[in-house]
Chains A and B, each alone.
Chain A
Amino acid sequence: GIQVEQSPPDLILQEGANSTLRCNFSDSVNNLQWFHQNPWGQLINLFYIPSGTKQNGRLSATTVATERYSLLYISSSQTTDSGVYFCAVVDNYGQNFVFGPGTRLSVLP
């Protein structure tokens, strides 16, 4: 099945800093989403982005499907951005999401 890798595994930032999170996947996908899991376990979907670029406030994402990677940009980070960021994909043969291992982000005041 499709493999999903995320980097870095852990990231510590000072409030106000910018960051880039990366998701690599091993096969073609027809669905890719980024999620944020807060410290209480709630998964919030950030972007549905199988290709192209999207922006939502301080967050933006780019997926280059032909090169099999996606990037999540967080600008002017805030302490509330802390948590784990997951990339999840559905390949062209499957119907269920395969999640990456996540990037744990800690934003310090």
Chain B
Amino acid sequence: KAGVTQTPRYLIKTRGQQVTLSCSPISGHRSVSWYQQTPGQGLQFLFEYFSETQRNKGNFPGRFSGRQFSNSRSEMNVSTLELGDSALYLCASSGGGQETQYFGPGTRLLVL
């Protein structure tokens, strides 16, 4: 099976712009979770989608949003980018229950 894929791998944006990141889960996986990793805050949970519905949400402002399509692919969007949004954004997929999560390679976002 192909692993979790994320696009793009690298992205440079300027403050105030918006960005959309994409994640394709492992075939058959219905849950996609998104995480933000920064040197200062570590790995933090953003949100989880399961069967096109947001099932769980972390403590991030409303500028961070996401969605999931019927084929389980997921996108996350960050509007009005701030310098502090510079981070590695990771997505993970699983079957949807309490089991192993598999991570993609991440998207490195730099906000100038």
Say whether, besides A42-B105, A43-B90, A95 and B56 are in contact (CB < 8 Å). yes
Interface residue? A66 (CB, 8 A): no
Partner pick for A31 among B43, B48, B98, B102, CB 8 A cutoff:
B98
Number of residue pairs across A and B with beta carbons under 8 Å? 50
Measured CB to CB, the closest approach of chain B to A27, in angstroms, equals 15
Which residues from B are CB-within-8-Å of A42?
Answer: 103, 105-106
For the complex, give the distance between the alpha carbons of A42 and B108 in Å: 12
B: interface residue count bin: 20 to 34
A: interface residue count bin: 20 to 34
Query: Contact between B100 and A45 (Cβ–Cβ < 8 Å)?
Result: yes
**Per DSSP, are chain A's interface residues mostly helix, strand or loop, or mixed?**
strand
Interface residue? A71 (CB, 8 A): no
A31, A95, A101 interface centre (most CB from chain B within 10 Å): A95
Contact bitstring B70-112, A, C-beta under 8 A = 1, else 0: 0000000000000000001010100000111111011010000
For the complex, give the distance between the alpha carbons of A31 and B48 in Å: 16
Interface residue? A99 (CB, 8 A): yes
Question: B residues engaging A (CB < 8 A)?
Answer: 33, 35, 37, 42-45, 48, 55-56, 58, 88, 90, 92, 98-103, 105-106, 108
